[in-house]
Amino acid sequence: MNINENFLKLKAGYLFPEIGRRVSGWTEANPDKTSKLIRCGIGDVTEPLPQAVRDAMHAAVDEQGERDTFRGYGPEQGYDFLRDAIVENQFAGLNISADEVFISDGSKCDTGNILDIFGHGNKIAITDPVYPVYVDTNVMAGNTGDADENGAYEGLIYLPCTAENGFVPAIPSEKADLIYLCYPNNPTGTTATREQLEAWVAYAKANDAIILYDAAYEAFVQDSTIPRSIFEIEGAHDCAIEFRSFSKNGGFTGVRCAYTVIPKTLTATTSTGEPVSLHSLWNRRHATKFNGASYPVQRGAAAVFSPEGKAQVSALIEHYMGNAALLRQACQDAGLTVFGGENAPYVWVQCPDGVDSWGMFDKMLEEAQVVITPGAGFGAAGEGYFRISSFNTRENVQEVCRRIAAL
């Protein structure tokens, strides 16, 4: 009996468990101060579900309680009412059809599961810093070698995102087959311009590469010149897959609903050079290993696009972006250099001179009782930065701002 030994290559000290260890160590040592702790670390929403979503879910649960309206297994790809609403509201004019949208229970799973349809031996490019899921799922799939002492995996192409390049990686000189891009970005909270995305699409087309585009934070884009979808870029339908989620706009982190968009024109090749539709492979994969998101959840997701739902989601976004503006200002007033937080719920802050990102984590915990996320936990290029999440109540954010000022 063998195991998948790729799992043994995964690093034990994963970011959030390490944060958890340090926080519980501190709370045990400081029981009197524990009640002051404010968590601005993990990227989870804090505000309750929109009323329109709850109403739709209640109604759907009641439908499930009546013989005439009860629904058992639904289509694995999702109900038409939701796929149609997504296309109409999110991809109008972008030449995406409802049957190119696959409903799921999360983008974390989709961005990991997508590797099922790709072969081995592909060159994988990821940004640094990065959402750790992209890396770890490639490790599990056997697409990497071992990690070195800095935690970098052999065989991956790391694309540094720095203040110098505006946190959008330079086009590599070598050929990559799969490229993970996430904009607005987690963790840096920065965005990519149309020109930058055009350059990536051109690179992907020239290299027969596929861009895996994670647009989980598109709803936070305030600047109308910034693309919300990779499919706003000409040619992307031939080289990109997009992941979207209801987690951050609708507050569905605990409800679970997301979707993946794969144009039917998108192909990749067999070892003998035959083109194969990735849409049909994913359709087969999805229908075989997934039995559809729950009916009440899909009704709740569709309600995000109702007039009331849209207004309520806008209010949520406005709330979080208001938080982000306060956090940006507080950090700037404290003399820190700040990035992101204008079209994304994350503020990416440069550590003061002489303090590294875990040093800053400890300092914020011990001196301000605020939990932040050290940039180094997202990759080597994240060293020297920390992430503050604006997913919080206004009260907590105002208190965090006061404590930053007092540091």
Ligand X SMILES: *Cc1c(COP(=O)(O)O)cnc(C)c1O
> 80-90 and 295-303 are packed helices; what angle lies between their axes, rounded to 10 degrees?
20
Please report, as residue ranges, which positions from 120 to 139 form the binding site for ligand X (by CB under 6 A). 131
Site size with ligand X, rule: CB under 6 A: 14
Q: Any residues with CB less than 8 A from the CB of 372 and at least 6 apart, and which? A: 40, 41, 360, 361, 364, 386, 387, 388
Cβ proximity to ligand X: between 48 and 119 the closer is 48
Residue of 90, 245, 260, 312 interacting with ligand X (CB under 6 A): 245
Kind plus residue range of the DSSP H or E element containing 103: strand 101-104
Decide if 46 contacts 61 (C-beta within 8 A).
no
Q: Which two tokens stand for residue 68?
A: 């005439």
Q: Which stretch binds ligand X (CB under 6 A): 16-24, 135-143, 241-249, 279-287?
A: 241-249
Strands 275-277 and 346-350, sheet pairing: unpaired
> 307-333 and 394-406 are packed helices; what angle lies between their axes, rounded to 10 degrees?
10
Q: Any residues with CB less than 8 A from the CB of 210 and at least 6 apart, and which? A: 118, 177, 178, 179, 204, 239, 240, 241, 266, 268, 278
- Asked if 180 interacts with ligand X (CB under 6 A), we say no
Residue of 50, 78, 106, 296 interacting with ligand X (CB under 6 A): 106
Closest distance between ligand X and the C-beta of residue 18, in Å?
18
Helices (H) and strands (E) in the chain, counts: 11, 15
Ranked by CB distance to ligand X, the top (closest) residue is: 106
Residue of 39, 83, 237, 248 interacting with ligand X (CB under 6 A): 248
Q: Which stretch binds ligand X (CB under 6 A): 29-37, 85-93, 105-113, 319-327?
A: 105-113
Helices (H), 190-306: 194-206, 278-289, 295-303
Q: Which stretch binds ligand X (CB under 6 A): 146-154, 242-250, 314-322, 392-400?
A: 242-250
Q: Phi and psi dihedrals of 300, rounded to 5?
A: -60, -40
Q: Phi and psi dihedrals of 118, rounded to 5?
A: -110, 145
Closest distance between ligand X and the C-beta of residue 322, in Å?
20
Provide the mask over 9-48, with x wherever binding to ligand X is found by CB under 6 A and - wherever it is not.
----------------------------------x-----
Cβ proximity to ligand X: between 336 and 347 the closer is 347
Provide the mask over 197-236, with x wherever binding to ligand X is found by CB under 6 A and - wherever it is not.
-----------------x-x--------------------
Closest distance between ligand X and the C-beta of residue 255, in Å?
9
Q: Which residues bind ligand X (CB under 6 A)?
A: 43, 106-108, 131, 182, 186, 214, 216, 245, 247-248, 253, 258
